[in-house]
């Protein structure tokens, strides 16, 4: 099996948001998909092989893979995969081989996303609609700008939580499922590219904060506002 085929197979399992994992999809495949995407994202952040648009797309796939993995394998394994991918990405040289790896990872993730999206029903389940109606951060009748802003604020709090770990493991997973639900809703409004930019801005803002009592209050407020 070629490297591209191997990556695609892992992503096809890991990127199907909140869907039951196939019986033959090992936890190692979920974690490896997250690691490879984070590795490519980190390497491209350093080396700037991709255009801003393509880098944003890669960022969105890394976030989506982590979200999917959080619903299927222990959060500790997801954290380990993110950490391993970050370390590996920072160690990669900015050369033709790394450029090819980044491009192949992006293409494999894109193909897997297309496959999983094509298999989804266009409308969400009634249970998902009920969750969105109960979601206190934003509502369906808000403007797109307001909706995007509330999404970005929520994701910023989640990125802070992912690094600072103010919540329990179970709370962390519940929090991210709400983020995923909001992400999918916003993508239908403004498109996946715009959502990727919002996500990247939120991550940058979160990275600028130090873990403290202030970040704990931020995370708890977002968690409460999400109705969790």
Q: Which of 206, 194, 224 is nearest to 155 (CA)?
A: 206
- pLDDT score of 109: 84
Q: What is the CA radius of gyration of the chain?
A: 17
Same domain, 37 and 110: yes
Between the ranges 42-46, 67-71, 152-156, 199-203, where is the mean pLDDT highest?
42-46
Confidence band for 9, pLDDT divided at 50, 70 and 90 = low
Same domain, 163 and 214: yes
| Spatial distance between the Cα atoms of 106 and 79, rounded to a whole number of angstroms | 21
- pLDDT score of 227: 75
User: Mean pLDDT over residues 47-53, rounded?
Assistant: 95
| Spatial distance between the Cα atoms of 7 and 3, rounded to a whole number of angstroms | 6
DSSP per position, 76-88? HHHHHHHHHHHHH
Find all residues with CB under 8 Å of 43, minimum gap 6, and list them.
49, 89, 90, 92, 94, 98, 101, 102
| Helix-, strand-, coil-residue percentages of the chain, each rounded to 5 | 75, 0, 25
| Spatial distance between the Cα atoms of 22 and 1, rounded to a whole number of angstroms | 20
Choose the weakest-confidence range: 15-19, 29-33, 217-221: 15-19
What is the tens place of the pLDDT at every residue in 116-157?
554 443 333 433 333 333 333 333 344 455 555 588 889 899
Same domain, 191 and 210: yes
What is the tens place of the pLDDT at every residue in 163-220?
888 988 778 778 877 887 787 788 788 877 777 778 778 888 888 899 999 999 999 9
- pLDDT score of 13: 52
| Spatial distance between the Cα atoms of 220 and 28, rounded to a whole number of angstroms | 31
Q: Report the predicted TM-score, pTM, of the whole model to 2 decimal places.
A: 0.51
Same domain, 150 and 66: no
Find all residues with CB under 8 Å of 183, minimum gap 6, and list them.
63, 64, 67, 151, 155, 195, 199
Same domain, 115 and 173: no
Helices within 48-140 (DSSP H only):
52-70, 75-91, 96-119, 126-134
Same domain, 113 and 134: no
What is the tens place of the pLDDT at every residue in 73-106?
788 888 899 999 999 999 999 999 999 999 989 9
Q: How many residues does the chain have?
A: 228
Domain C-terminal end among 100, 119, 138: 119
More confident residue, 28 or 133: 28
Contact status, residue 144 vs residue 189, Cβ threshold 8 Å: yes
Same domain, 143 and 174: yes
| Spatial distance between the Cα atoms of 89 and 36, rounded to a whole number of angstroms | 9
For residue 132, give its domain range. 126-225
Same domain, 49 and 83: yes
- pLDDT score of 213: 94
Confidence band for 10, pLDDT divided at 50, 70 and 90 = low
């Amino acid at each position: 099996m070629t490297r591209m085929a191997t990556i695609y197979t892992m992503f096809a399992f890991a990127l199907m948001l909140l869907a039951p994992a196939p019986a033959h999809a090992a936890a190692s495949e979920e974690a490896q998909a997250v690691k490879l995407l984070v590795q490519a994202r980190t390497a491209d952040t350093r080396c700037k092989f991709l255009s801003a648009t393509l880098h944003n797309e890669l960022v969105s796939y890394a976030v989506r893979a982590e979200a999917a993995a959080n619903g299927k394998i222990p959060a500790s394994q997801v954290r380990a995969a993110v950490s391993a991918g970050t370390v590996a990405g920072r160690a990669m040289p900015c050369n033709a081989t790394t450029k090819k790896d980044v491009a192949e990872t992006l293409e494999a993730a894109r193909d897997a996303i297309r496959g999983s999206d094509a298999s989804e029903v266009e409308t969400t389940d009634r249970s998902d609609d009920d969750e969105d109606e109960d979601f206190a951060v934003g509502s369906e009748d808000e403007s797109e700008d307001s909706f995007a802003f509330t999404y970005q604020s929520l994701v910023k709090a989640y990125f802070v939580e992912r690094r600072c770990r103010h919540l329990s493991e179970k709370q962390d997973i519940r929090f991210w499922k709400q983020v995923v639900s909001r992400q999918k809703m916003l993508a239908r409004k403004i498109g996946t590219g715009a959502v990727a930019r919002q996500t990247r801005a939120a991550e940058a803002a979160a990275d600028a904060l130090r873990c403290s009592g202030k970040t704990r209050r931020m995370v708890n407020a977002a968690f409460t506002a999400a109705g969790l």
